Structure 1
Amino acid sequence: MALTFATSQKIFAALCGLVLLATVHVIMVKTVSHQTKAVILRGEFVLGMETILVFMSLMIWRTFLPFLKPFSKPNSSVMGPTSKTNGCTYVETFQDLNFGHNFQAQNRKINHVKERFSFLQLILLSYLILCHMSYLTNIFFISKEPHWFAMLAYICLGSYIQLSTSIVIVRILSFFVSLISHSVPPTRKGSGKKLTVIIAVIYTLIATLFGIYTASQPPAVRQVRIPVKDLPNNLEGLSIVQISDIHLGPTVGFTKLNMIVDIVNKENPDLVLLTGDLVDGRVESLRRAAEPLSRVVSKYGNFFVTGNHEYYTGDVDNWFNYLKSLGFTPLHNSNVKIPVKVSGDEGQLCLAGTDDIQADTVGYIGHGFDIASAVKGCAKDQPIVLMAHQPKAAKMALDSNYRVDLVLSGHTHGGQIFPMIVGAYLLNPFYLGLYKYGQDGSHVYVCEGTQYWGIPMRIGTSTEITHITLAKASL
């Protein structure tokens, strides 16, 4: 009973601590500036992320440690045969038996093995530390181009996720095999543990190299044709290029954005739409990295809406001003008519954009998801194309009482790497690609992401620039 009571006390204390932290969080978020809120949220994210990583690191360390230790005990190499005299056991050293020279050499070899294994332990520890430091590079290593340390840390984090996943999968499979065969799980045996390590290392190396290669390739241009109800004749075949989730920051910089702009311009678009998560830092840090956007050319203009990562920077208003200077118009719960001027029997569509729903969570003053304001002034007979970063926002818009014919979103990255693909699929109402929604012929398109967040890898997904062609919907 004492143990049970002590355990209940610990659980109660933990719950009280969580309540206290939640109360402090609410008070602080309601009383501080949005810049400070952004810092608090990033701090909370780091704390949560590091907590998960600690458990994963312990699992990796315990899995690998038995294979990074010397096989001999410290003094075993200098001990000789034993003899008994008058019931007492004596240990004779090899030096006493005049074999000193040979066994000293053997001793040096074993000491060398010990040093080598100690070095491997240090390598593993350094690797784990790099993984834990990855997110901190978002603060200290952001400039025009990616920093080598940031790239190394995030590559380690990506391989770390693959390593942890493979270990867990092998252990689960071993457990089910043991249930079927009614035997001890192979992963509890020495040979089974060794096999787990071998499989995990081989898989991690292959997945990491493949992921780095895939992410390093130029984004593919994906051609999509979408029917839109009431599309005017003069807008039949309207060309829209969508880019999303570029994530300028510690591992994406000027050179990659410059390449993206070249690809966009080759498509000769009527509209260029950037559907959020352009940056992972403040304007003062990424001003030069974002400069290539000034070269984007389109017939009717370039437009931008915020993603959740813009609000994490705490610098959205400054980004709005800077993007305007680069030729991009932020749609801040607002809309524009495309084309702006018409004559005769020509028609228009209404291009609208909403703030990301994360603005509401952050409590960013003057920002928030507002579909009513976004479509205000759009004529009832005009088709409405809405830019909304998250698929959850897309569903909220489509379920509202307002007309929305097409929503362009991003955010999911398709999960970016395995096993996060599973989470992205389960947590979003629309995962990636084109969806038809409702009875009125509305559509949602979710871009897989033009680059990547942090980890410079793509495993099971790819980067894309989406070239959308609008067509009249058949009756």
Structure 2
Amino acid sequence: MMIFGKLSLEVKVAIATAVVLFSMFISRTFLTENVDKVTRAKLFRFQFLLFINCLMLLGSLYIWKKTVVTLCRASGPASYLTGCWKCTVLLFLAFAHLSYFTLLYLVSEEPYIFSLIAYTCLGSYVIALFFLFIFGCIDQCYRLLTRRAGKTLTAAAGTSKCANKKVILAIGITVALTCVGLLNAARPPAVVRVEIPVHKLPASFNNLKLVLLADIHLGATVGKSKLAMIVRMVNDLQPDIVVIAGDLTDSPVASLGTATEPLRQLRPRLGTYFITGNHEYYTADVSNWFSHLRALNIQSLHNSNAKISLSRDSDEWLCLAGVDDLEARLLRYSGHGMDLEKALAGCSPDRAIVLLAHQPLAAKKALQARPDISLVLSERRNTPNKVTKLDLNS
């Protein structure tokens, strides 16, 4: 215990993070079948929030050290301005940490102002941490070189001033990129049109229109009005098929049931299909999401497939398959995990196979295991704030 007390705050936080991660592993291994579904979901969400915030605390300590301790030391004696700066940074970090809690406790049809501010701070937090770390590494390398070269204390003082300038530069870049991000988020989604030749696609399917959506992240920052706008854009494209390749939501069904209502207005000729992304598993509410989407006329491909044909009596069809997200197994989510063999059961290698996989790594694994897959669609094809229209040709 005495040894633990002598450790630095950063090391203590790192140990706490490891303990939380270990508790997540233990509970998901041994408690999954022993507690009821509601209790299990609440426990998983609490552990996830605790783990994320412990991890973020390490970053927050680093940001505080660089932006407050270093800069205030360089500015001389404490003053009103330094006090205001400390309060500003502390408030910024607090909002960033609270962002994940809004996913569970501050979600409704439309985003709350508090949630939008919190997630803006979270985005700025990530940018600031990245550039402070990069500039810090550059500074440490420069100091190492000056020591080896036997530079004087004057040179070392100059290096310290240069380090302060880098911190200010990192803050400036963070502010600039945050403003760019906010402007981009305020714009309507862009429509990207792509023509793709698909091997073994029946001639009758030529010019099949497929619209790919991914990473909508309905929840704390995206509400019903934004989703309704996306649905209108999709319907204007007159698609034959709509696929949602994961990360549709960040919160449980109970919080977002009414916000998803615009999805009922999707009008593809041959159906709408959904696969899970990692964020669906973070909600610990996947089964309820499957049931809810079914009520909205959306078919979930849970390591399964659907045979798409232009008419009931046609013998020409393509196999549309979907796999669970890779992180389902990592999170030890019972009954879930990428199972390509199960997803492609009944899909003939002589027919065109289109596979939905949320992560590009899953797409790579699928193609290595089954080279006969004609096309794999994943989230990277559809970057955030974009609607992708694919024209499939034989």
TM range (shorter): 0.7 to 0.9
Please give the per-residue CA displacement for 1:198-246, whole angstroms capped at 9, x wherever unaligned.
2122111111101111222222222222222221111011110000111
Measured against aligned partners, the alpha-carbon deviations of 1:358-402 in whole angstroms (never above 9, x if no partner) come to 333444444333323322222342111112222233233223358
Say if 2:291 is the partner of 1:321: yes
- Give the letter for the 2:65 counterpart: R
Aligned runs of 1:155-170 on 2, under 5 Å? Answer: 155-170=120-135
Equivalence for 1:135: 100
Distance 1:17 1:70, change over 3 A: closer
Deviations 1:331-364 (A, max 9, x none): 22222222252557x6211112223333334444
C-alpha distance in 1 between matches for 2:306 and 2:226: 30
Deviation at 1:23, TM superposition (A): 4.4
1:65 maps to 2:69: yes
Q: SS in structure 2 opposite 1:31? A: coil
Partner of 1:78: none
Q: SS where residue 240 of structure 1 aligns? A: strand
Bigger mean CA offset, 284-293 vs 157-166: 157-166
Cα distance between partner residues in 1 of 2:275 and 2:22: 36
Q: For residues 237-295 of structure 1, what are the alpha-carbon distances to aligned partners after superposition, in whole Å with 9 as ceiling and x for unaligned?
A: 11100001111111111121111112111111111111111111111110121111111
CA distance in 2, matches of 1:66, 1:360: 43
The answer to whether the 8 Å contact 1:229/1:383 transfers is: yes
> SS state of the match for residue 52, structure 2?
helix
- Give 1:262's match in structure 2, choosing from 229, 232, 255: 232
Amino acid at match of 2:378: S
Distance in 2 (alpha carbons) for counterparts of 1:177 and 1:230: 58
Counterpart CA distance in 1 for 2:165 and 2:49 is 33
- Bigger radius of gyration: 1
SS at structure 1 position matched to 2:369: coil
After superposing the two structures, state which structure 1 stretch, 125-134 or 55-64, moved more.
55-64
Letter in 1 for 2:134: I
How far off is 1:467 after superposition? 1.0
Task: Provide the residue aligned with 1:453 in structure 2.
Answer: none
What is the match of residue 54 of structure 1? 57
1:406 & 1:354 partners in 2: Cα distance?
14
2:362 to 382, 393, 411: 393
CA RMSD of aligned residues (A): 3.2
**Which one of the candidate residues 342, 345, 349 is aligned to 1:376?**
345
Distance (whole Å) between structure 2 residues aligned to residue 24 and residue 337 of structure 1:
38
Change (3 A) 1:217 1:187: farther
Q: Does structure 1 retain, via aligned residues, the 8 Å contact 2:48–2:282?
A: no
**Residues 308-457 of structure 1 aligned to structure 2 (within 5 Å):** 308-339=278-309, 341=311, 347-401=316-370, 403-410=372-379, 432=380, 446-449=381-384
Distance 1:55 1:207 in 2: 23
C-alpha deviation, 1:38, in angstroms: 4.1
The answer on 1:31 being equivalent to 2:25 is no
Find out whether 1:468 has 2:390 as its counterpart.
yes
Aligned residues: 377
Take 2:326 and 2:190, find their aligned partners in 1: how far apart are those partners? 28
4+ runs deviating over 6 angstroms:
14-20, 69-73, 184-188
Which range moved further: 282-291 or 28-37?
Answer: 28-37
1:281 matched to 2:242? The reply is: no
1:232 aligned to 2:232?
Answer: no
Alpha-carbon separation, structure 2, partners of 1:137 and 1:47? 13
User: Helix, strand or coil: the match of 1:386?
Assistant: strand
* 2:115 pairs with 1:150: yes
Deviates more, 1:18-27 or 1:400-409: 18-27
Deviation at 1:45, TM superposition (A): 3.3
In structure 2, C-alpha distance between the alignment counterparts of 1:33 and 1:392, rounded to whole Å: 33
Q: Which residue of 2 aligns with 1:219?
A: 189
Q: Which residue in the other structure is 2:223 paired with?
A: 253
Distance in 1, matches of 2:101 and 2:225, equals: 22
Contact preservation (8 Å) 2:277, 2:324: yes
Q: TM-score, normalised by structure 1?
A: 0.71
Unaligned runs of 5+ in 2: none
* 8 A contact 1:331–1:353 mirrored in 2: yes
The question of whether the paired residues in 1 share the 8 Å contact of 2:20 and 2:47 is answered with: no
CA positional deviation for 1:316: 1.9
- SS of the residue aligned with 1:45? helix
Deviation of the 1:72 alpha carbon: 7.5
| Contact 1:38–1:311 (CA under 8 A) maintained in structure 2 | no
Q: Deviations over 1:82-114 (max 9, x none)?
A: xxxxxxxxxxxxxxxxxxxxxxxxxxxxxxx83
Between the aligned partners of 1:161 and 1:350, the Cα distance in structure 2 is 40
CA contact (8 A) 1:372 1:402 kept: no
Tell me if structure 1 keeps the 8 A contact 2:32–2:334: no
